[in-house]
Chains A and B, each alone.
Chain A
Amino acid sequence: EPEVTQTPSHQVTQMGQEVILRCVPISNHLYFYWYRQILGQKVEFLVSFYNNEISEKSEIFDDQFSVERPDGSNFTLKIRSTKLEDSAMYFCARVSDTQYFGPGTRLTVL
């Protein structure tokens, strides 16, 4: 059920730069999650976003991170000043009866 797309598929950035990762639902959903997966490690929850507000966030989701729904459809995850340890796959997931994940964005911080 590939109803979520993510752009870009791969982002390479320099340490300290800002990145914006986008999640585009094909149908209109109100409830989205962001997760990340450091290479070879477990998938970790970052933040949940419901009806244009953060409903829950993890310890990982510090002040460097923010989420928005800038145009009423796309969801964005922004990292203000990237660090080397932010290198990971970032997944968004839409929620219906379960969570359906997008294909992910691979972020590489150099």
Chain B
Amino acid sequence: GDSVTQMEGPVTLSEEAFLTINCTYTATGYPSLFWYVQYPGEGLQLLLKATKADDKGSNKGFEATYRKETTSFHLEKGSVQVSDSAVYFCALRNTGFQKLVFGTGTRLLVSP
């Protein structure tokens, strides 16, 4: 079945450091890919998405490119802030109105 694999955390960075959180997937067909963020004590917020190969999703300085050849959707940000501290979930949706399949989440801790 479909699955998503994320790098284990926590990822600990200093403010203004470069961030990469790896995400790879296994799926039949041509899934859409998502990153969701969960701030402490809150629900899941959509951060960005990409619906086809080579698409780049971006939002709030975060970017991820849909790489079909490597089945990856790594999350990057050039300069993290303390306020970016959260848990980041990579997810896929295979087609249409199907369910989201989530990775295990990666906790990011940014210190001043």
Contact = CB atoms under 8 A, between A and B. Distances in A.
A27 interface: no
A44 B49 contact: no
A23 to B, nearest CB: 12
Interface residues of B, number: 21
B44 A43 contact: yes
Interface on chain A toward B: helix, strand, loop, or mixed SS?
strand
Interface on chain B toward A: helix, strand, loop, or mixed SS?
strand
A42 B105 contact: yes
B31 interface: no
A103 B43 CA distance: 4
Interface of B: 32, 34, 36, 42-46, 49, 89, 91, 93, 97-105
Interface of A: 1, 31, 33, 35, 41-45, 48, 50, 55-56, 58, 89, 91, 93, 95, 98-104
Nearest first, the 8 closest Cβ-Cβ pairs linking A and B are A103-B43, A101-B44, A45-B99, A43-B102, A104-B43, A42-B104, A101-B43, A42-B102
